[in-house]
Structure 1
Amino acid sequence: MRMFRLPNSPKPLAEVADRLHLKPLIRAMTSPHDIFVLELAEESVRLIHAFVNFPPVRLQIPDLPGNAEQATQRPSFHVRAPRGRLQNLEGEKVLLHKYARKVEQAIHNVFAGLNTPLVVAAEEPLASMYRSLNSYPRLADEMIEGNPDQKTDAELEDTAIPILDRLYSREVKAVIALYDQLKPRRATTDVSYAAHAATAGAVEQLLVDLDAVVPGLVGDVDGSVIYSASDNAETYSVVDEVARRALSTGARVLGARREELPDRAPLTATLRYDFGLIQS
């Protein structure tokens, strides 16, 4: 027997059918449950990998400077430079920008091939400087404010994890906004239509109500749906089967609460192309 620890707690549910019930695991399968935290201050810099329900891990990165002094080889930003050199605030900004660039260059390869969000914990002007140099597309707009140098890895993780929920919520809202743009030809909340589209590989993005159970059967060839008055061993959740077929054809599947979905429907689908009318 193999056991897996989930980052979230699905509601207790017993299902009897000829296939696995997938929907309670969709949130764990398709949403991020970890986030990188870059703590950036003049006195220190850390890259932390934070997890839901797991302790954080501080990454050891070659060539990552320990602080601004080490990166710029200057004992202090706040000492007046000799005549002819950059002075005071102007010089400080140049040196801080050099520090931020060295940090970005050092951690750049860590993110290669990843899709994990990154949040910056820094004060101005370092926060804006790093953003202007960042090349990682998953950098979050939201940041952790205040002096991060005084916070432990665990405290930074506790602050970063709620950002994941807000990022996920914004992604759900973006799918709903796209649904509003594409309906009725390339978006639907009709379960039968979505089943046909998912079987044909036409679903691009799918939102499903994690708690909805619509008993029935979905045809293997064309995705036609036969609904059942009750849930029994011969049927399964139609919404769950639509999600399974959408996932198997590369669709982005997200879980949501019913009150978040248009018309409180059990699912919302956007399509890759105009799927046309279903022949009954």
Structure 2
Amino acid sequence: MSLLSIDELKTLVEHSQGLCVSLYMPTYTRGAETRQNPIRFKNLIKQAQEYLQEEYHLDRNDAVNFVQPAMDLDKEEFWQHQDEGLAIFVGDNFFQYYRLPLNFNELVVVSDRFHLKPLMPLLTGDGEFYILALSQKEVRLFMGTRDTIKEIEMENVPHNMTEALQYDEPENSLQNRISTSRGGTNNSFQQTGVFHGQGSPDTDDNRRNILQFFLQLDRGVQDYITNKQAPLVLMGVDYLLPIYQEANTYQHLLEDAITGNPKTLGAEELHTQVWPIVEPYFTQSQKKAIDQYQELVGVGRASSNLKEVVSAACYGRVAELFVAVGKQQWGNFDPQADQLQIHEQPEPGDEDLLNLASVQTFLNGGTIYAVEPEKVPEGASLAAVFRY
């Protein structure tokens, strides 16, 4: 299974029956380094088994049986289809895994709930964006994050104008689609493009054919955009871009685009050019949240104190949470007594308190910014703006 939906994340968050094993690892997708994938995987499985035996007192057979669903993945075919990172979740009568565009650190956590903080960048500024590379002869869709990019194979979508025109829509249907696309969203691009000069597609039927192609493409592409909040960036020669903008009904198509022939750029070059366009989209709300934190910290409406933030998250008071990726703080929190215990090393019954704050903020509708440690206010491991 690949990309993680919000509903699937909620399922993982709400699962709290018995022991929960969470495994994260980076995965290589090409070259000799791919041989490291199964080796890393087996080492993590071994760590999980040892932890189940030593800390939770399972005998060896029970520990092996508990993680067996994960071990069953260890086949050559499985390792041939990877992304940047692999996340595996094993519980009592529960098993799920995800190939994700996140370069995880190796991590094994055994607790009474799944450890989900490494997934939080999917909800924040390291989330997903899409690139639609347009030409009349070939269309490609890419999904990227801050650090990764991959092409998405699309089925049942016209990949060129010839394919699109095989399914020519009747005139009335086409006119209705054009009218709908112009007014069907809040997108500022929904207006008719006007073109002048030599080679303008307005001078012949070519523009109408391109528009029909893009109307079909608009419908098909959205089936492959799994995160409906993710920005979409176009790349294509200049006269194609306004035509697609006219056909577009996707709410988060960005105004800025890459002008040029898509065939001249590989995936990595596309990523290099597009990231400066999408980064402000991701960081705008984060910057606003930091400013708000600075305004409210002096009046008790914000804090970077671990106990205050964990408690507030569990009681549904956190509106915005900053949490450091790649760090853990072990301990446990008793919400009834409002008491927090912190341990340098994980003990039985402990969990990562940063994960606890993230999960509770997510469940209570707060916004999470999973960022590099240096981007958390006041140099803390986590910080929050409170609702009240």
What letter corresponds to residue 288 of structure 2 in structure 1? Answer: A
Does residue 89 of structure 1 match 2:182? no
Checking the alignment, whether the CA contact within 8 Å between 1:50 and 1:161 is kept in structure 2 is no
- Distance of 2:354 and 2:368 partners within structure 1: 12
Q: Which residue of 2 aligns with 1:102?
A: 212
SS in 1 for 2:101: coil
- Aligned counterpart for 1:126 among listed residues 234, 240, 248: 240
SS at match of 2:197: helix
Identity percentage of aligned residues: 19
Q: CA, structure 1 residues 228+145, in 2 after alignment: closer, same or farther (shift >3 Å)?
A: same
Distance (Å, rounded) in 1 between the aligned partners of 2:353 and 2:346? 13
Q: 1:268 to 1:105 in 2, by over 3 A?
A: farther
* Partner of residue 288 from structure 2, selected from 167, 174, 177: 177
Indicate how the Cα distance of structure 1 residues 165 and 13 shifts in structure 2: closer, same or farther if over 3 A, else same.
Answer: farther
Contact preservation (8 Å) 2:133, 2:235: yes
User: Which residue number corresponds to residue 247 of structure 1?
Assistant: 362
CA distance in 1 between partners of 2:126 and 2:161 (Å): 29
Give the aligned partner of residue 79 of structure 1: none
- The letter of the residue matching 2:241 is A
One-letter amino acid of the structure 2 residue matched with residue 231 of structure 1: Q
Give the partner amino acid of 2:200: E
2:156 alignment partner AA: Q
Distance 2:283 2:248 in 1: 25
What is the CA–CA distance in structure 2 between the aligned matches of 1:47 and 1:241, rounded to whole Å? Answer: 39
Distance in 2 between residues matched to 1:173 and 1:20, nearest whole Å: 30
Distance in 2 between residues matched to 1:259 and 1:169, nearest whole Å: 19
CA pair 55-147 structure 1, distance change in 2 beyond 3 A: closer
**What is the deviation of 1:31?**
7.0
Q: Which amino acid aligns with 1:218?
A: F
Q: Is 1:57 paired with 2:153?
A: yes
- d(CA) in 2 for partners of 1:123 and 1:168? 23
* 1:172/1:256 contact within 8 Å kept: no
- 8 Å Cα contact 2:324-2:373 kept in structure 1: yes
**1:189-212 C-alpha deviation (Å, 9 max, x unpaired):** 333332233222233432310123
Match of 1:228 among 342, 365, 388: 342
Q: In 2 relative to 1, CA 100–18 (structure 1 residues): closer, same or farther, beyond 3 Å?
A: same
Shift of 1:143: 3.1
Cα RMSD (Å) = 4.1
Q: In the alignment, is residue 11 of structure 1 matched against residue 105 of structure 2?
A: yes
Moved over 6 A (4+): 29-33, 67-71
Aligned to 2:331: 216
Q: SS in structure 2 opposite 1:228?
A: strand
- Give 1:60's aligned amino acid: N
Distance in 1 of aligned mates of 2:373 and 2:153: 35
- TM-score, scaled to structure 2: 0.52
Kept in 1: contact 2:328–2:353 (CA 8 A) = yes
Contact (CA 8 Å) 1:36, 1:118: kept in 2 or not?
yes
2:137 equivalent to 1:44:
yes
Corresponding residue pairs, total: 253
**Please, what TM-score do these two structures have when normalized by structure 1?**
0.69
Of 239, 243, 249, which residue of structure 2 is paired with 1:135? 249
Give, in whole Å, the separation in 1 of the partners of 2:118 and 2:369: 11
Q: Which stretch of structure 1 is more off in the superposition, 168-177 or 60-69?
A: 60-69
Gaps of 5+ in 1: 72-86, 276-280
